Amino acid sequence: MIDAKKIWQDVQAIRKKAPLVHNITNYVVMNTTANALLCIGASPVMAHALEEVEEMVGMAAALGGALVINIGTLSQKWIESMAVAMRAAQKRSVPIVFDPVGAGATTLRTQVCHQLLGEVSPTILRGNASEIMALLDATVQTRGVDSSRASSRAKEAAATAATLYRCVVCVSGEEDIITDGKTVRTVRNGHAMMSRVTGLGCTATALIGAFAAVNAHPLDAAAHGMAVMGIAGEIAAAKAQGPGTLQLHFYDALYRLSAQDIEKRLR
Amino acid sequence: MIDAKKIWQDVQAIRKKAPLVHNITNYVVMNTTANALLCIGASPVMAHALEEVEEMVGMAAALGGALVINIGTLSQKWIESMAVAMRAAQKRSVPIVFDPVGAGATTLRTQVCHQLLGEVSPTILRGNASEIMALLDATVQTRGVDSSRASSRAKEAAATAATLYRCVVCVSGEEDIITDGKTVRTVRNGHAMMSRVTGLGCTATALIGAFAAVNAHPLDAAAHGMAVMGIAGEIAAAKAQGPGTLQLHFYDALYRLSAQDIEKRLR
Amino acid sequence: MIDAKKIWQDVQAIRKKAPLVHNITNYVVMNTTANALLCIGASPVMAHALEEVEEMVGMAAALGGALVINIGTLSQKWIESMAVAMRAAQKRSVPIVFDPVGAGATTLRTQVCHQLLGEVSPTILRGNASEIMALLDATVQTRGVDSSRASSRAKEAAATAATLYRCVVCVSGEEDIITDGKTVRTVRNGHAMMSRVTGLGCTATALIGAFAAVNAHPLDAAAHGMAVMGIAGEIAAAKAQGPGTLQLHFYDALYRLSAQDIEKRLR
């Protein structure tokens, strides 16, 4: 289903084109996601002022880039900027990757997701299972809970969200599930220690932004991004003594990633 | 006074319960304190929007967590959110750890501390000697200055602050002093190079949040947090070639910390 | 032209005096520039609230420090604080180092630079060639484009900007150009992999702040800062397997920097 050669083609395209990835993201991960984007070969930019987000999206449009929206540390002004940026991206056909960090944890976060996603469909929506579940209405959530296994629940939630928000949905977990509501791709790469480094979920979202910039098929872009994320994480974990050293080696692994790494490790 | 076995019990409790530590903290250390909390086994969350802080504190209450307030990069909106979060935490008996970063450096910082701490007593107040001194009124400060040695001055300031703010006070330094105004605990772990990594004081405060979540005795929670901080710093310094590598190994050391590490190194 | 011994004198002065470097900078690099300043021996402080920036600049004045202004993640409130801080620094003769991150990328950024720099001349203005070009008026930019080689264009832009803003201008690139409009200094240190670590340009600006605090000659301060930046980068690159490990070793190299390192590597 997922083809190692096609992943490698995307990586090469990112390295060659250095697509502009415009991030409106949370304070916690601004530095780390910028570093991950640089290591894979993209050109990250962080800009959130209402006065400039539309223009920055225009630059992403002109240069063949992407917009990444991440609600991890919200405040009112930023929500406005996110809405303006998403509208501008939709208008100019810039791929939008949306990360509903903490949806379900507070009413504000859930509502902001409903508001933003209700107005503009993202290209790809990436979150963990509980975040994606939180974006479904109560009926659906209940139905989801009836399912007997976590993985099948996540698959059902992903498919429902894909239909509801008319986008590709990526539910990350031990097994990543990527679906457009019909076709399903799964990625089984990654390492348990990755959950002990802050913001690696947000990093996955940012990397998917780079893949969406060079690959017109959102299902493939999301799957390829998650595969690269997991493979780099595995390479890093093999060298790490803990989450601190894992993070560094993760960056190095993204930077040094080869066709062979992907071929050998893709699951 | 400080029992290595009890520190280890707390570490195990954190690893088992993964307490939610809600941080309203400064931009500089959001990433690094989140990583330290993940490495010790806690679940960090960063949320500062006025619309959601009360709800997030409610979640910390429901899940047996803690609230960490750090004034390192203040602005008006954040001060309001801190006040609301502290009131909510008091009401719901969520332990509050407060870090008065830069108190004394500017009038704003000193005043904000007086305002916030005047309304709600934290569970634990952690700062360096000059920050804690700045929170005492002028008379007390002058008296403090009369003392002949730095350490005795710090002890006096800590005791006075503990009485004034009705909380446990932790003054960190070469020797950390932890007191509730009556009993005094001292921790002598740590390494000089730690002062060359930004935000390790803030990291100590965040870690104490995790200990306060699992240990109902604030004096012990603060002492155990400082001991773990210092011990992980020593382990890291032994492997480091400078502050850059120290920071990584510090995370790894927190993640790998064993009963033997504590037993062997506690001073 | 650039004397290794004088660079070393500045490094020793920074280590001895630990000058206060007050940064109003972008979210992405707050942590990393604070770490770089700590590693070289300075005392970084981050403060942006309108209510405290003037007082913090006053402290930098009293302690012989510097002000670093970096527009990387702008918003309206911060622009006001930057203006107030720059006026206070001018009044109290605190050196100002200004980084026009992303000037030219959006109208907001270019206009804010014109506004801030139009009112207060910085001591040193540091950016890459496209940022510095964006600060020149259209006539000059066009003239710049006529030049046949990138390096001569950068030199012309630097000289024009130095005259226009009455300051030392540092255009960083493969060859760094530092000029006051008359004298030109060039620094050829550094490593290509440094461009794959986010915020190393901002780090250069912050380090120049430390050098400007101890060296009254802005042309020398900027050149020495850039040389140390490049030399530490080379030392780090020699040990690194990618951008992740490069960043750590960069910090360690700043911390361990010796007269011999400078003597041997200065180009």
Q: Which pLDDT band holds residue A149 (cuts at 50, 70, 90)?
A: low
Give B16's contacts (C-beta < 8 A, 6+ positions apart).
Answer: B41
To the nearest whole Å, the CA of C192 is away from the closest chain B CA by 20
Residues in chain C closer than 8 A to B46 (CB atoms): none
Q: Report d(CA B183, CA C161) in Å as an integer.
A: 63
Nearest residue, CB atoms, C242 vs list A31, A47, A255: A255
Residue from A28, A73, A109, A200 to probe the interface with B (highest B Cβ count within 10 Å): A28
Taking an 8 Å cut-off on Cβ atoms, the answer to whether B244 and C255 are in contact is yes
Output the pLDDT for position C149.
62
Tell me, rounded to whole angstroms, the distance of Cα B219 from its chain centroid. Answer: 12
Mean pLDDT taken over chain A: 95
Chains B and C: how many Cβ contacts under 8 Å? 89
- Domain CATH code at residue B205: 3.40.1190.20
Size of interface A-B (CB pairs under 8 A): 89
Task: Inspect the interface and report whether the beta carbons of B197 and C35 lie closer than 8 Å.
Answer: yes
Question: How far lies C105's CA from each of A16, A34, A91, C100, C161, in Å?
Answer: 21, 17, 20, 11, 18
Distance (Å) from the alpha carbon of C257 to chain A's nearest alpha carbon? 22
Residue C29 lies in a domain: yes
A147: DSSP letter: S
Contact between chains at C31 and A34 (C-beta distance less than 8 A): no
Tell me the average pLDDT across A128-145: 74
Average pLDDT, chain B: 95
Taking contacts as CB-CB distances below 8 angstroms, the residues of chain B near A108 are 49, 51-52, 55
For range A194-218, the mean pLDDT: 98
B256 to chain A: nearest residue by CA?
A242
Distance from CA of C85 to the nearest CA of B (A): 14
Q: What pLDDT is stored for residue B197 in this prediction?
A: 98
Helix (H) or strand (E) holding B67: strand B66-70
Q: How far apart are the first and last CA of chain C?
A: 10
CB contact under 8 A, A49 and C199: no
H-assigned helices in B135-216:
138-146, 150-165, 200-214
Arithmetic mean of pLDDT, A11-27: 98
Residue B242: closest C-alpha in chain C: C252
- Chains touching chain C, criterion 3+ CB pairs below 8 Å: A, B
Minimum CA–CA partner of B107 in chain C = C52
Name every chain A residue with its beta carbon within 8 A of the beta carbon of B31: 28-29, 31-32, 198-199
Residues of chain B with pLDDT under 50: 142-147
Residues ≥6 apart with Cβ < 8 Å to A112 = A71, A74, A79
DSSP chain C: ---HHHHHHHHHHHHHH--EEEEE--GGGHHHHHHHHHHHT-EEEE---TTTHHHHHHHHHHTT-EEEEE-TT--HHHHHHHHHHHHHHHHTT--EEEE-TTBTTBHHHHHHHHHHHHHS--SEEEEEHHHHHHTS-HHHHHHHHHSSSHHHHHHHHHHHHHHHHTSEEEEESSSEEEESSS-EEEE----GGGGGSTTHHHHHHHHHHHHHHH-S-HHHHHHHHHHHHHHHHHHHHHH-SSHHHHHHHHHHHHHH--HHHHHHH--
8 Å CB contact between C212 and C221? yes
User: Per the structure, how many domains does chain A have?
Assistant: 1
A232: which 2 tokens?
A: 């780099």
**What does the pLDDT read at residue A138?**
61
- The tens place of each residue's pLDDT in chain C, 267 residues long, gives 899 999 999 999 999 999 999 999 999 999 999 999 999 999 999 999 999 999 999 999 999 999 999 999 998 999 999 999 999 999 999 999 999 999 999 999 999 999 999 999 999 999 999 999 999 976 555 444 444 566 788 999 999 999 999 999 999 999 999 999 999 999 999 999 999 999 999 999 999 999 999 999 999 999 999 999 999 999 999 999 999 999 999 999 999 999 999 999 999
Q: Whole domain around residue A54: which residue ranges? A: 4-265
pLDDT digits (tens, 9 = 90+) for A175-190: 999 999 999 999 999 9
Instruction: Please enumerate in sequence order all residues whose Cβ is within 8 A of that of C102, keeping only pairs 6 or more positions apart, or say none.
Output: A45, A47, C71, C72, C109, C131
Question: pLDDT value at position B147?
Answer: 43
Question: Is the pTM here over 0.90, yes or no?
Answer: yes
Residue C176, in any domain of the structure: no
Which residues on chain A are in Cβ contact (under 8 Å) with B252? 240-245
Position C201 scores a pLDDT of 97
Q: In this structure, is residue C166 part of a structural domain?
A: yes
pLDDT > 70? residue A139: no
Q: What is the pLDDT of residue C1?
A: 80
Angle CA(A92)–CA(A12)–CA(A88) in degrees, nearest 5? 10
CA–CA gap between residue B136 and residue B130 (Å, rounded) = 10
Amino acid (one-letter) located at B128: N
Look at residue B144 in the predicted model and tell me its pLDDT: 42
Residues 6+ apart with CB under 8 A from B79: B112, B115, B116
Give the pLDDT of residue A151.
78
Walk across the sheet containing A20-24 and list its strands: A43-46, A20-24, A66-70, A96-99, A124-128, A168-172, A176-179, A184-187
Give the Cα separation of A132 and A162 in Å (integer): 10
Tokens of residue B55, six digits: 């709800």
Residue of C nearest to B29 (CA): C31
**Chain A positions touching chain B (beta carbons under 8 Å):** 26-29, 31-32, 72-76, 102, 105-109, 195-199, 240-245, 247-248
> Which of C196, C198, C248 faces A248 most closely, judged by CB atoms?
C248
Is the backbone of residue A18 left (phi > 0), alpha (psi -120 to 50) or beta?
left
CB pair distance less than 8 Å for B197 and C38: yes
Report the distance separating Cα B266 and Cα A189, nearest Å. Answer: 40
The whole-number average pLDDT for the span A58-78 is 96
The predicted pLDDT at position A144 comes to 42
The structure tokens listed for A51 are: 């006065």
Strands C168-172, C176-179: pairing is antiparallel
- CB neighbour burial string for B151-184, b if at least 16 within 10 angstroms, e if fewer: bebbbbbbbbbbebbebbbbbbeebbbbbbbeeb
- Beta-strand pair B176-179/B168-172: antiparallel
Q: Which of C26, C43, C252 is best to mutate for the B interface (most B CBs within 10 A)?
A: C252
Question: What is the average pLDDT across A36-65?
Answer: 97
pLDDT (0 to 100) of residue A137: 73
The 10 Å CB-count burial string (b at 16+, else e) for C24-54 is: bbbbbbbbbbbbbbbbbbbbbbbbbbbbbbb
Length of chain C: 267
